[in-house]
Structure formats: structure tokens, C-alpha cells
Structure 1
Amino acid sequence: MPHLGLPLELVSEVLQESILDKRDLRNVALVSKAFLVLARPHLFHTVSIETAYCVDESDPARSYHWRTRRKLAFFRSRPDLARLVRHVSRDDCEDYFRPGDRAYPVIEPNALWDQILETFPQVESVYDHFSPTPSPHRVPECTKTIQSVADVWINKSSWEWLSRCAKLRSLRCSFGSDEPIALPAPLPFQLDEIRLETLYGSPKPFLDLVDRSSATLRSLDLCGRLAIMTDFSHLPHLEKLTLSVCGGQGKADPAREQSLVRASLPSLTRLRHLVIRQHFSWKRKGGVFEIIAHPDVVRLLPKTLVRIDAMDTPTVAQCKALFGAGTSVRVLGTQDWFFSAEEMADTAESREWCQVRGIRCAAGPVI
């Protein structure tokens, strides 16, 4: 079937759109052989691995769900397609088994990832909700290609494996207090993005990770730990910063957190994108903007800042305070949690105020 004279460059650009789902991509692939070649990398870009879990919560073993067993068998029979996979995620499904159930061949979490990475040798991004990593003594081919690892607890075992991922650029990680680790200097990779998920004990390993990535770091997520770091002058390329107000502790203390934000802003000389999460226990309209729309904070906003995302919606008065002082912010990403008629009317008025002044209101924050 002909491809209707469309330039293949245009088709390739269309396929980059995230709005296309698997069904759309399959339909594109069926148009012609030329379209198939272009669509195939997108069709097989992402693979999800489902595992059943043991009802005995003390047993970390997992078993592949039957859908995953079929999926892995398919890719092992088609290594040409397996090499197209760039992102692999693993999570438990609704299925479970009892100890000794022969219908569920069990596998240890580390060995599970060994098998996954052997199947997909060109993977660039991995995610595991429960944080196991491959066996440290194994060096799969994909350590040469992995650029992103999410939800990993940094300890001696995981670091031994991560240290072999020379192309690693993005790391979403947690630090525990059970097994402190001394990170080497320099690091074996150059990180563009660091996202802190959980931190127990001393913040030193995390701060060392940030310090040793200072020459390349562009995006940093401090989770609810703003207090551990308020001087960013050693991060000359930092363009995106994500903070959590209310400190993750469930008690609102706007004055304290406002002082921490004020202390941080002068050293953020190249910041372009500020993301502020709101702790769920502090869910009231305009709460986040009580901090960032305060005149003392607005005066300190970097002249390079063009976007603010917040899990909150500002009032009109807060919009005037934030954008009426000649700030450089041109995009506001908000998430509307409030649905009463009065509050929805306030939200519409705030959006209209922004749009009239050329400030784009994004559909919602990327948080």
C-alpha cells in the first residue's frame, strides 16, 4: 500500500508525538513497509515486566506473570526486536502465590533483573518500584547503554552495578542508614539529573553525589529535604529545581520554608524551571503561593526563570504579586484540586488574568 506521498521525514516527526498509543503505532506500521521501518522502534521502545509476589511478605522472591513469560519468550525468539527496547519497568501485578506453589517458578529479584537485562541488551532506562538491582558480579551488555535508573536504594551492592554504567545521566535514588556508603571522586558517570526519593540518616552521601556531579547537573529534586541544601552556587548549570513545601512532615510552617526558599534563590543564577510540590496534609488553595508569591521571594526570583509548576492554584491576588513585579516567568503549570463552584470560579479568574498578560497556563505540572 502506498504511503500517500507523505515525506518520510514528516512521518518520523509525527511518530515522535507522545499522544500516539500502541494501537496508533500499529496502524501506522500497517500502512507500508516504509512506515513499518519508522514505526517499529516506537512500538518496541518500552516494555513493562509484571511479577507475582509471595503472600509471605518476608520472602522477596517473585515469579513472572504468565503475560510476562510469553512476552520474554517472544523477545528471546526475536533478538532483532529486543534490541529496539530502550525502557524497561518492573512492578508487581495483582497476582500472588504461596510458598512452594509449583505453578509459580520463583526467582530472586537480583536474578530477575539479570535475565531482563540479558534479554534487552540495548536498554537505556530501567525502573523498579521495589528497587532491586542486577547481581553486582554480572556485567550485562546494556551497562554500556543505560542512561537512566529509577527507584534504586544506593548501597554497596547497587553502587557496584551502577558504577559500570558509564553513560548514566539520570538517577532517581534513595539513601538508607543501614549501610552507609562512601562515594568515589570522581564519579564513574556524569549526571544531568538527580532525584532524591527517600533519605534516612546522614545526608552526606546524597550531598556528595550532588557535589561530584556539579560540572554537569542540570536538574535536581530535593524531595522534602530543602533544609539540607540551600546554597547552589557550586552548581553552575542547574536549570531545574524541584522542592517540596511543608517539609514532608505534615505540619505547615510557611515562615520557615519561606526563609529556606529566600536563602536558596540568590545562588540559583541560571534557574529556568522551578517545581514546587505540596505535601498532601497541607492541601489548601494558594498554600504554595503563600511562599513563592511573597514580595520578599518575588524580588529574589532569578531573571532566567521562565516556568513555575506547582501542585496548587494561585488566587488572583497571588498572580498579581507573582507576575506584576516584572518577573521573567512566562509559564505557570498548576494542578486544580478544588472543585466547589466558588473555587472553580476563582481558578478561572486567575487563568484569565494570566492569559491576558501573556502568561501561559499549562495543563498541569510535570511532577
Structure 2
Amino acid sequence: MVFLPNELVDRILSESVLRKRDYCNIALASHDFCALARRYLFEDVTVECAYCTDESDPARALTDTARRRLRFFRTHPDLAALVRGAYRVDGSETFRPGDPDYQVKAIGRIWDAIYTVFPRLEQVWDEFLVPPSTLPACTSTLRSVRSLWLTNEAFTWLRHCRNLRSLNCSFTSEGAPVLPSPLPFSLEEIRLDELYGPPTPFLDLVRLSSSTLRSLDLCGRLAILTDFSGLPALETLRLSVCGGQGRADPAHEQSLLRASLPTLTRLKTLVVVQHFSWRRSGGVFDVIAHPDIVALFPKTLERIECDDEPTLEQCKSLFGAPAGTSVRALGVLGRADVMRNTTEARRWCQERGIAWRKARLG
């Protein structure tokens, strides 16, 4: 029997393409491998909830699976300490108002239970995330908070998250916090979800993070920020376009890109997605595969990621300039209901050293 050295197994385990089943198989191979695989097996946990058939009721109830999962980790604190990510999701299970079989709780109470069980969380996500009622133990270890409405109450919690590096947030027209300078944390990634009212609070957050910000998602609101010269570390920009559908104006979107691209002097990755209301095949490339847009791509650009698939002609417009292109990878993601033949476009890109792969849009 051939035994692999632990160092090699550890490198294999660190590959992002592995699935939980792969980790389980490696863990079952030997006692030593099991010890190496544990932190990957218990790296994150999903807490699934049932929701009320009355959609106006914001309360949730833990499913049986979620209750058993939390009970398991509560009785195995050594494994709970390995969990780095917690995600609360609404499943397919529903309950009627007043159903005695469900222990209904506010979402904040459910998160209080999650924080109690997992003391060393680094990432939390919830479509309706609310700030905790008291500072949990993981406040000092949190690095990523996703889908949070950034209010005064929320920032009262975040100001204690000194290791926070990634924030996915929304802003309302009322209750936006007055941010201190300097911020109590150094953000490397900011993703805008929703914006109601003036963009000032969001722009303040970006400005106060300018020296460390490496990734920015404007959520289809390129018009609020077209000068990126004040963000010297920015390497990844995510945009949402409409591609000429509905009331969208592709010429206006292109004019915003013309203003923005010359200020992105260190950009390595450009992610462009279509607004969910106006998706159509080729819409992204109708906007970006334009000669005077392509001419403004920064020389540092290495990857373009899109939730779309280009035609051969769009690929030629995007990468066929006589001066060549710095782009080495194109990430694409076609619609399941549209089977577009991309064989020629893919071959054309690959012949020119441009890798064609499935887009990473997360």
C-alpha cells in the first residue's frame, strides 16, 4: 500500500474544487488524514428555516434538520470551534400562523442561538441579517458580513468588528450612520445590495476605505461613481448593466464606462452581469464589446467575468484589436433556457491564449 505524506494531503485538501464528499472520503482513508480534513469538513454550516405562509410575518422557525445540527455542535464544542461560516436560509418548508408544531422566533433570536454555538465565526450571511442584541464572541473574529442594512444600530455592532474585511450592505433613506474617520476596520471588499435615497452614505464608506479597498460591487449603479482614481488598490470591479432591454439605454451605459475605465489603472478583474429584470443573450457583450470601450481597458486587466455568452463576432470585437489584449481569461455563464452554440467563439479565444471557463460571479 502506498501512503501519501501528510503535507501533500494537506495541499490536496486546500484545493477549492473539492466537495464535502471528497473531504469525507479523504477523512475515511486514515486517522491522520481525518485530523487534516476536519477543518474543511466543518468549515461552514447552513441553518435552514421554515417561514410563515403569511408573507407579512417576518418570523421564522428552525427546521428539524437545523435543530439537530445546532444540537450536535452544541454538544461538540471542539467541532463548533472549527466552523468559520454560518448562513441562515429560508428553505421550502412553510407553516401556518399559530401552528403549534413550530417554535416561531424572530430572525435576530435565531442568530443569537447561532452566535452562541459557533464562537469563532469569520463570515455570516442572511438575506435579512440583523445586528445582534449583545456582542457575540465571534465579534473579534468576523471578517465578512453579508446582506446587512447599514443603520446606526448595525454600525454600533460593526465598530467592534476590528477584523472586518468584507461588507455586503444596503442603505435606506433614513437611519444611515455617520461614519467616523478613520473607520475602526480596514475594508478590502464592499458590495452594494440596495440603495434608497442619496448615495452619500455609501460613497462615504468607499472613500473612508480607499487605501485598502481591492474589490467593489456597484450593483448596477455605475452612475454614482465613475472616478476611481481615489482607489489606488482597486483590482476587481463588479458592474450590472441592462444591455438595451426595457427602458435601459446602452449608449448611456457605454458613456459611463468611457468615463470610468481610464481611472481604473490597476484593475485586474472586470465582472459584468445583467440586471435580473432584463437578461438576454449577448446583452453584456453588446455593451462592453465596443471598439472605443475595448480601447480603454486598462493594461493590467487579466480577467473578464460575465453571466452571458459571446458570439464569435463579439469575441473578435473584444479581443481582436491589432495591439492585442492583456486579458488571459474569459469567464462566461449562459442561461439554462438558451442553448447557444459557442464552439467557434471558444476555439477562437483559446487559439489566442485566452482561457474560456465558467464564470465565478460570487
TM-score normalised by length of structure 2: 0.94
Match of 2:306 among 290, 296, 310: 310
Counterpart of 2:222 in structure 1 is: 226
Counterpart of 2:351 in structure 1 is: 356
Counterpart of 2:84 in structure 1 is: 86
Q: Deviations over 1:4-59 (max 9, x none)?
A: 42010110111122333223222221222111110111111111111222333333
Structure 1 residue 180 corresponds to structure 2 residue 176: yes
SS state at 2:327 partner: coil
Structure 1 residue 286 corresponds to structure 2 residue 270: no
Q: Using the alignment, how far apart are the partners of 2:195 and 2:243 within structure 1?
A: 13
The aligned amino acid for 1:123 is L
- Asked if the contact 2:242/2:283 (under 8 Å) is kept, the reply is no
**More deviation, 26-35/68-77:** 26-35
Aligned in 2, Cα 1:56/1:279: closer, same or farther, shift over 3 Å?
Answer: closer
Shift of 1:112: 1.6
- Asked if the contact 1:333/1:363 (under 8 Å) is kept, the reply is yes
Shift of 1:104: 1.9
Counterpart of 2:57 in structure 1 is: 59
Aligned in 2, Cα 1:38/1:355: closer, same or farther, shift over 3 Å?
Answer: same
Structure 1 residue 168 corresponds to structure 2 residue 164: yes
Q: Using the alignment, how far apart are the partners of 1:160 and 1:250 within structure 2?
A: 40
The aligned amino acid for 1:354 is C
Aligned residue pairs total 360
Percent identity over the alignment is 57
- Asked if the contact 2:245/2:278 (under 8 Å) is kept, the reply is no
SS state at 1:129 partner: strand
Q: Using the alignment, how far apart are the partners of 1:175 and 1:247 within structure 2?
A: 26
Match of 2:199 among 196, 203, 211: 203
Counterpart of 1:128 in structure 2 is: 126
Aligned in 2, Cα 1:299/1:190: closer, same or farther, shift over 3 Å?
Answer: same
Q: Using the alignment, how far apart are the partners of 1:114 and 1:200 within structure 2?
A: 28
The aligned amino acid for 1:331 is A
SS state at 1:191 partner: coil
**More deviation, 138-147/313-322:** 313-322
Match of 1:30 among 28, 32, 57: 28
Structure 1 residue 366 corresponds to structure 2 residue 361: yes
Aligned in 2, Cα 1:187/1:317: closer, same or farther, shift over 3 Å?
Answer: same
- Asked if the contact 1:304/1:328 (under 8 Å) is kept, the reply is yes
**More deviation, 42-51/318-327:** 318-327
Match of 2:48 among 47, 50, 54: 50
Counterpart of 1:74 in structure 2 is: 72
Structure 2 gap segments, 5+ residues each = none
Shift of 1:316: 2.2
SS state at 1:164 partner: coil
Equivalent positions of 1:267-278 (< 5 A) are: 267-278=263-274
The aligned amino acid for 2:40 is H
Structure 1 residue 40 corresponds to structure 2 residue 38: yes
Shift of 1:111: 2.0
Aligned in 2, Cα 1:141/1:281: closer, same or farther, shift over 3 Å?
Answer: closer
Q: Using the alignment, how far apart are the partners of 2:77 and 2:11 within structure 1?
A: 26
- Asked if the contact 2:227/2:263 (under 8 Å) is kept, the reply is yes
Match of 2:7 among 6, 9, 15: 9
Shift of 1:241: 0.2
- Asked if the contact 1:166/1:188 (under 8 Å) is kept, the reply is yes
Aligned in 2, Cα 1:213/1:340: closer, same or farther, shift over 3 Å?
Answer: closer
Counterpart of 2:232 in structure 1 is: 236
Aligned in 2, Cα 1:7/1:313: closer, same or farther, shift over 3 Å?
Answer: same
TM-score normalised by length of structure 1: 0.92
Q: Using the alignment, how far apart are the partners of 1:305 and 1:58 within structure 2?
A: 46
Q: Using the alignment, how far apart are the partners of 1:163 and 1:340 within structure 2?
A: 46
SS state at 2:316 partner: helix
Counterpart of 1:321 in structure 2 is: 317
**More deviation, 239-248/43-52:** 239-248
Q: Using the alignment, how far apart are the partners of 1:59 and 1:311 within structure 2?
A: 34
Q: Using the alignment, how far apart are the partners of 1:255 and 1:338 within structure 2?
A: 28
Q: Using the alignment, how far apart are the partners of 1:157 and 1:339 within structure 2?
A: 43
- Asked if the contact 1:91/1:130 (under 8 Å) is kept, the reply is no
- Asked if the contact 1:28/1:39 (under 8 Å) is kept, the reply is yes
Q: Deviations over 1:144-182 (max 9, x none)?
A: 101011111111222211221111111111111232322
Q: Using the alignment, how far apart are the partners of 2:351 and 2:114 within structure 1?
A: 52
Shift of 1:140: 1.2
Q: Using the alignment, how far apart are the partners of 1:287 and 1:96 within structure 2?
A: 37
Q: Using the alignment, how far apart are the partners of 1:185 and 1:119 within structure 2?
A: 34
Counterpart of 2:100 in structure 1 is: 102
Shift of 1:249: 8.6
Shift of 1:117: 0.8
